[in-house]
Structure 1
Amino acid sequence: MNLRRGAFFSIAALALTLTACDSGTEPTTDTTGSAPASAAAAATCPTDAPQGSVDPEWTLRGTTGSVEVVGSTDTAAPRIDVQKPFAVAETQVHTLTAGDGPIVPDAASVSVCYMGVDGRDGQVFDSSYERGTPADFPLDGVVPGFKKAIAGQKVGSTVAVAMAPADGYPDGMPDAGIQKGDTLVFAIKILSVEG
């Protein structure tokens, strides 16, 4: 799936390609001397599901339904549980765990691990965690809701966003199963920043 405005293609089937996630290059890292993520952490996204009973780090009631999010750890992918259909009228961003790296500027390029779930049906429509590989992209090349979730956060943070349709795909994205008016929910781990 592609979070770029108007474009949608795959990395492996329907993979999020925020500009060129699977360019065959290593994930972007900060070369300004403030590299926040270790090379090992930046090279992979954990693929294992959270083990056992884990309390949600964010619970949000929408205009319909609700969502509970558990952020990723060094060894486990996030979990997003949806009481469907889940919808929000305005995009909501929640920091699950604050990082200690530099603040991500609005026009930066970042490397992240993410999972995206459609609030209408509760299904994962794209996940770099499933692929085990981070996505690298400029924030100026993604849909507004994804940028709202990341810009202003510190590198190393895990964040969740409930993205109103106007900040995602207001007309839908049929190739990913996203219908017109769907609210999208993402759990994101910010690995590194450049720019």
Structure 2
Amino acid sequence: MIDVNYSRATKSGILVACAASLAVVLAACGSDSTTSSVSESAPASTTCPAQTPEAGTTPEWTLPGSTGSVAVAGSTDTTAPLVEVTTPFAVTETQVHTLQTGDGPVVADDATVSVCYMGVNGRDGSVFDSSYERGAPVEFPLARVVPGFQKAIAGQTVGSKVAVAMTSADGYPSGQPSAGIEQGDTLVFAIEIIDVSG
């Protein structure tokens, strides 16, 4: 999702960064031509809960697509979000839904944010990246993410939990084979906005 300048990083550092946060540096792995850097850090007291939600968790958003459907429940203090997909799921227009509204400041279009997120491929329902699985939020500038991710976060408030179902055009129009994303895939993200700067 983010273009990253790794011109000062070692080759092994690039591989570690790519493996540690696939979706956030997906478009940048192996590229030296970009100009922004990403800090994968957040306040030490902040974590992304990794525990799976209980069976029967009630969705906060259900969206029928042009094919299939998705049901999303946001994360809690102790559990990761729940994203259930009836495959293949596709949308013809990017849809954003606020699952829970936070009480922090509004996120500007060009802000740097710290978020916990889970990315799910609508074609097959697979989780292709999750900071919840890693247990730590990721920090990045919104100017460097795919359009659908920016649409989901900009204008929200810190503390909010948001879901987005994005078209391929707002995600990866040509696909991202390293993440199992094919051309035309609709992507679904469940996101919690932890902090904002800038």
Change in CA separation of 1:129 and 1:144 when aligned onto 2, cut-off 3 Å: same
Aligned residue in 2 for 1:16: 23
- Structure 2 residue 157 is the aligned partner of structure 1 residue 151: no
- Aligned mates of 2:155, 2:173 — CA distance in 1: 24
- Aligned mates of 1:14, 1:57 — CA distance in 2: 27
Give the structure-1-normalised TM-score.
0.85
Gaps of 5+ in 1: 30-38
* Greater RCO structure (CA 8 Å; 6+ sep): 1
Which amino acid in the other structure matches residue 66 of structure 2?
T
Contact preservation (8 Å) 2:24, 2:145: no
Change in CA separation of 1:89 and 1:6 when aligned onto 2, cut-off 3 Å: farther
Contact preservation (8 Å) 1:11, 1:21: no
CA-based RMSD: 2.0
Deviation at 1:183, TM superposition (A): 0.2
- 1:59-138 correspondence to structure 2 within 5 Å: 59-138=62-141
- Aligned mates of 2:69, 2:83 — CA distance in 1: 11
Contact preservation (8 Å) 1:107, 1:140: yes
1:93-114 alpha-carbon deviations (Å, 9 max, x no partner): 0000000000000000000000
- Aligned mates of 1:21, 1:11 — CA distance in 2: 13
Deviation at 1:184, TM superposition (A): 0.1
Which amino acid in the other structure matches residue 126 of structure 1?
D
Number of aligned residue pairs: 178
Aligned residue in 2 for 1:184: 187
Deviation at 1:14, TM superposition (A): 5.8
Sequence identity, in percent? Answer: 61
What SS does the aligned partner of 2:22 have? coil
- Structure 2 residue 56 is the aligned partner of structure 1 residue 53: yes
1:79-137 alpha-carbon deviations (Å, 9 max, x no partner): 10000000001100000000000000000000000000000000000000000010100
- Aligned mates of 2:128, 2:109 — CA distance in 1: 26
Give the structure-2-normalised TM-score.
0.84
Deviation at 1:172, TM superposition (A): 0.3
Contact preservation (8 Å) 2:87, 2:123: yes
What SS does the aligned partner of 2:84 have? strand
- Aligned mates of 2:57, 2:69 — CA distance in 1: 17
Gaps of 5+ in 2: 6-13, 26-36
